[in-house]
């Protein structure tokens, strides 16, 4: 019978009291869409429905494919999560007899409904809040490290499986989760293509499988915190945060990687280079995310706002001013009070200075002393609004002045010639020339005085003198007010000194009376306080001893439980590998040299091989066969190729998992050892 389709589940879930075997789900009802039909959130492996059962809400995962070991996997996952108590997961129950479709029962997963926002929606909502995104990056590192310490991997870290619930992170969808009990198995999925290593296959199934996708999400959050414009530029929210599968497969042609590697800040460039280097590693070689990029560097680089020169500033420098040695540009500097790295904070401050938006933090809240009144602020209102200097233009023509000047020059030249010819006396010429010059200057001054611009200029000068007089008067008034203020301040100082002296006398009398009363009081309380301090110290010592003993015992028990879990996984893997090796050896021994035709190896060579101890494919070795006389590299390669062809056929029938009885026996052995330790740890904690 074919497995149910999403439409089959839609039809069945409309009648919950008939479709479900779980009593709580029978009493619930599914969330409906606008058409009044059950709202299904369908993915590649399951359709998820939200069921309201009284005051509680459940997510019901109806599987779209049949996995034979599904129940076994979820049992292993549930057991490991209950032992390790990972805070980022939600409770679930695997129900083999879950939902009835067309009269047949199929398994479902009943999981707590997460009331929160998917990671991509949360990031898009807080793109303009760099503090929020950097805090999210820090919490993401904590989540990844917690999963690593618990020895598990989610298997499909992506925006749809990570929810932000009241500031905390939660993981859903555990179909591809890895726990130590599943060591040696293969994965049924390879995760979201925009978050997984391009070389990952179903055989990549271990605690390392989340390393690459954790880096993808972390780098995207940090980059968006520094430059939120990257979200729209690279289509964030469209099935990705920042990167897509093609960026991983063709890093040389990736615009997103190029943007990070050419970013103005050297630390973003360094982060981009580190991330790109991961693409050239195997999935199992990808290093885990350790959050070191959140630590501030020893120096930051600030760009000069005038000449553009890069200035290196130590991050441990105190409050003061930064000065550019080239152009003299200055910038106030104060250590960052927030948990944002200084190099990120500096970049954000620079961005906001360019865009006109307020900075993230108000760095200087120190109270400044109130300065003396300064009248120079008045001059600001006397400056023209437009800084462009306007040249004075004249309304009248200068044709008359030019005509008179020309006649004067001609007359002067005639006078000089007449003097040289002896017509005019030599003493008369200088007086005539001086008279002509004075007449021209007089004409110029007269015509200049008739210009409207000159009259306007004179009026402005008069107004300026009047304004200067007002400024002088105002300054005199301010100085008088300052002198009166100083005189009043001196008088207040004398009065305060007198009051302080009287207050000191009163306080001395008061203290003398209080001291007399306290002497009697202290004599009564002295013995009580000594005894009280002794009891408090005894209580504190006893509590510290109890806490130390309980803590050490709890840590030792937890360590032993983890060791047993690891031993269990190791034994399962070792036994499986031994069975696989035995199967391969038995399969190879079934194929003898006599019953096989091998290129280049005739009966005589087969006889030589048999004499040398080579009976079947199991005995063939690339180095040993060449020691047989006549077996050169070519025939040795044929023999090795024959063995490898048999090995490839043996892979088909090779056991991929231990039998149920063997697995149960090993798990039972270690469970019997863990159970007393877990009970003892729980009793100690209670």
Q: How many CB atoms lie within 10 A of CB 51?
A: 23
CATH of the domain at 76: 3.30.200
Indicate whether 607 belongs to any domain: yes
Between CA 264 and CA 273, with CA 267 as vertex, the angle to 5 degrees is 95
H helix or E strand, kind and range, residue 333:
strand 330-333
Assess whether 271 and 309 both reside in one domain: no
Q: Are the CB atoms for 641 and 611 separated by under 8 Å?
A: no
Indicate whether 236 belongs to any domain: yes
Owner of token pair 């917690």: 146
* Residue 137 burial (C-beta neighbours within 10 Å; 0-12, 13-18, 19+): buried
End-to-end CA distance of the chain, in Å?
51
Distance CA 120, CA 111 (A): 22
Last residue of a domain, one of 450, 467, 487: 450
Tokens standing for residue 119: 């990671």
Indicate whether 31 belongs to any domain: yes
Partner residues linked to 321 by β-bridges: 332
Nearest to 346 by CA among 411, 305, 310, 301: 301
Predicted pLDDT of residue 341: 45
Indicate whether 99 belongs to any domain: yes
Q: What is the DSSP letter of 328?
A: -
Predicted pLDDT of residue 106: 94
Assess whether 245 and 314 both reside in one domain: no
Nearest to 154 by CA among 188, 118, 191, 193: 191
Distance CA 344, CA 223 (A): 10
Distance CA 185, CA 73 (A): 10
* Residue 277 burial (C-beta neighbours within 10 Å; 0-12, 13-18, 19+): exposed
Between CA 370 and CA 376, with CA 374 as vertex, the angle to 5 degrees is 145
Nearest to 631 by CA among 658, 613, 656: 613
Q: What is the DSSP letter of 376?
A: T
Q: Are the CB atoms for 415 and 433 separated by under 8 Å?
A: yes
Distance CA 154, CA 90 (A): 13
Tokens standing for residue 49: 């429905």
Model confidence band, residue 1 (pLDDT cutoffs 50, 70, 90):
low
Task: Classify strands 310-314 and 320-323 as parallel, antiparallel or unpaired.
Answer: unpaired
Indicate whether 308 belongs to any domain: yes
Q: Identify the sign of the CA torsion 235, 239, 242, 247.
A: negative
pLDDT tens readout for residues 184-233? 899 988 999 999 999 999 999 999 999 999 999 999 999 999 999 999 99
Model confidence band, residue 558 (pLDDT cutoffs 50, 70, 90):
confident
pLDDT tens readout for residues 498-537? 998 999 889 899 988 988 888 888 888 888 888 888 898 8
| Average confidence score pLDDT of the chain | 83
Q: Are the CB atoms for 214 and 288 separated by under 8 Å?
A: yes
Distance CA 78, CA 179 (A): 10
Last residue of a domain, one of 88, 112, 136: 112
Assess whether 88 and 159 both reside in one domain: no
CATH of the domain at 327: 2.20.28
H helix or E strand, kind and range, residue 385:
none
Assess whether 259 and 219 both reside in one domain: yes
Partner residues linked to 104 by β-bridges: 101
Predicted pLDDT of residue 310: 64
Q: Residue 28: is its pLDDT beyond 90?
A: yes
Average pLDDT of the segment spanning 492-500: 89
Assess whether 245 and 156 both reside in one domain: yes
Tokens standing for residue 32: 């409906």
Assess whether 440 and 419 both reside in one domain: yes
Assess whether 645 and 608 both reside in one domain: yes
pLDDT tens readout for residues 272-314? 999 998 998 899 999 998 755 444 444 555 667 777 666 766 6
Q: Residue 339: is its pLDDT beyond 70?
A: no
Decide: pTM greater than 0.75. Answer: no
Last residue of a domain, one of 58, 89, 112: 112
Assess whether 317 and 253 both reside in one domain: no
Q: Identify the sign of the CA torsion 645, 647, 651, 653.
A: positive
> 154 φ, ψ to 5°?
-70, -40
Task: Classify strands 40-42 and 46-53 as parallel, antiparallel or unpaired.
Answer: antiparallel
Q: Identify the sign of the CA torsion 579, 581, 583, 585.
A: negative
Assess whether 43 and 83 both reside in one domain: yes
Q: Which residues of 329-357 are buried (b: 16+ CB within 10 A; e: fewer)?
A: bebebeebeeebbbbbbbbbbbbeeeeee
The larger pLDDT score, comparing residue 553 to residue 427, is at 553
Q: What is the DSSP letter of 227?
A: -
* Residue 60 burial (C-beta neighbours within 10 Å; 0-12, 13-18, 19+): buried
Indicate whether 173 belongs to any domain: yes
Whole-angstrom CA distances from 530 to 208, 341, 515, 543 are: 60, 50, 21, 20
Torsional class of 381: left (φ above 0), alpha (ψ -120 to 50), beta (otherwise): alpha
How many domains does the chain contain in total? 5
Angle subtended by helix axes 211-226 and 266-278, to nearest 10: 160
> 361 φ, ψ to 5°?
-125, 145
Distance CA 337, CA 405 (A): 77
Assess whether 44 and 131 both reside in one domain: no
Domain ranges, residue 265: 118-294
pLDDT tens readout for residues 138-192? 999 999 999 999 999 999 999 999 999 988 999 998 989 999 999 989 998 899 9
Indicate whether 503 belongs to any domain: no
Nearest to 398 by CA among 353, 443, 339: 443
Assess whether 99 and 168 both reside in one domain: no
pLDDT tens readout for residues 36-46? 899 998 877 88
Assess whether 134 and 85 both reside in one domain: no
> 327 φ, ψ to 5°?
-115, -5
Q: Which residues of 163-202 are buried (b: 16+ CB within 10 A; e: fewer)?
A: bbeeeebbbbbbbbbbbbbbbbbebbbbbbbbbbbebbee
Indicate whether 389 belongs to any domain: no
CATH of the domain at 167: 1.10.510.10
pLDDT tens readout for residues 348-362? 454 444 444 443 333
């Amino acid at each position: 019978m074919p497995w149910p389709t999403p439409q089959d589940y839609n039809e069945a879930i409309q009648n919950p009291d008939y479709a479900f075997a779980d009593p709580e789900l029978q009493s619930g009802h599914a969330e409906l869409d606008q058409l009044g039909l059950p709202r299904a959130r369908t993915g590649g492996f399951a359709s998820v429905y939200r069921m309201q059962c009284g005051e509680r809400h459940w997510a019901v995962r109806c599987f779209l494919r049949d996995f034979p070991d599904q129940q076994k996997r979820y049992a292993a996952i549930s057991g490991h999560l209950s032992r390790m108590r990972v805070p980022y997961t939600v409770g679930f129950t695997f129900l083999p007899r879950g939902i009835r479709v067309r009269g047949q029962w199929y398994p479902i997963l009943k999981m707590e409904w997460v009331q929160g926002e998917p990671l991509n929606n949360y990031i898009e909502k807080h793109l303009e809040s760099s503090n929020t995104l950097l805090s999210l990056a820090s919490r993401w590192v904590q989540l990844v490290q917690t999963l690593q310490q618990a020895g598990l991997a989610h298997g499909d870290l992506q925006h749809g499986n990570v929810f932000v619930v009241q500031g905390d992170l939660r993981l859903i969808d555990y179909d591809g989760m890895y726990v130590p009990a599943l060591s040696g198995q293969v994965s049924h999925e390879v995760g979201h293509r925009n978050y997984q290593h391009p070389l990952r296959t179903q055989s990549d199934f271990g605690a390392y499988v989340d390393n690459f996708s954790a880096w993808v999400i972390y780098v995207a959050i940090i980059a968006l915190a520094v430059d939120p414009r990257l979200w729209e530029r690279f289509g964030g929210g469209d099935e990705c945060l920042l990167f897509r599968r093609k960026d991983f497969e063709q890093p040389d042609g990736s615009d997103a990687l190029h943007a990070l590697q050419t970013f103005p800040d050297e630390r973003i460039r360094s982060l981009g280079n580190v991330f790109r280097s991961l693409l050239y590693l195997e999935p199992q070689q990808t290093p885990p995310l350790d959050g070191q990029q959140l630590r501030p560097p020893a120096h930051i680089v600030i760009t000069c706002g005038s000449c553009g020169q890069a200035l290196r500033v130590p991050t441990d420098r105190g409050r003061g001013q930064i000065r550019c040695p080239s152009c003299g540009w200055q910038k106030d500097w104060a250590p960052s009070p927030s948990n944002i790295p200084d190099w990120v904070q500096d970049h954000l401050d620079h961005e906001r200075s360019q865009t006109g938006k307020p900075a993230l933090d108000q760095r200087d809240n120190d109270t400044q002393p109130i300065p003396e009144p300064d009248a120079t602020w008045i001059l600001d209102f006397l400056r023209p609004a437009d800084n462009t200097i306007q040249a004075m233009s004249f309304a009248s023509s200068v044709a008359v002045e030019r005509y008179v000047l020309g006649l004067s020059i001609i007359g002067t030249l005639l006078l000089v010639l007449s003097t040289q010819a002896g017509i005019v006396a030599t003493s008369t010429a200088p007086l005539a020339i001086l008279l002509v010059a004075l007449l021209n200057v007089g004409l110029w001054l007269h015509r200049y005085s008739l210009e409207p611009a000159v009259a306007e200029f004179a009026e402005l000068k008069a107004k300026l003198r009047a304004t200067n007089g007002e400024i002088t008067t105002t300054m005199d008034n301010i100085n008088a007010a300052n002198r009166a203020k100083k005189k009043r301040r001196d008088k207040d100082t004398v009065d305060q000194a007198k009051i302080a002296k009287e207050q000191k006398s009163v306080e001395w009398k008061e203290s003398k009376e209080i001291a007399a009363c306290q002497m009697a009081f202290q004599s009564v309380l002295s013995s009580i306080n000594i005894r009280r301090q002794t009891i408090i110290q005894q209580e504190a010592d006893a509590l510290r001893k109890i806490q130390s003993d309980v803590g050490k015992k709890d840590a030792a028990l937890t360590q032993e439980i983890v060791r047993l879990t690891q031993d269990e996984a190791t034994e399962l893997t070792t036994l499986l590998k031994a069975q696989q090796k035995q199967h391969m050896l038995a399969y190879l021994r079934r194929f003898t040299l006599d019953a096989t035709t091998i290129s280049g190896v005739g009966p005589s060579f087969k006889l030589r091989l048999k004499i040398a101890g080579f009976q079947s494919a199991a005995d063939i070795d690339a180095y040993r066969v060449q020691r047989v006389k006549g077996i050169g590299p070519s025939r040795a390669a044929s023999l090795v190729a024959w063995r490898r062809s048999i090995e490839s056929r043996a892979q088909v029938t090779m056991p991929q998992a231990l039998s149920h009885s063997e697995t149960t026996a090993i798990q039972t052995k270690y469970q019997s050892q863990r159970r007393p330790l877990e009970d003892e740890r729980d009793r100690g904690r209670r």
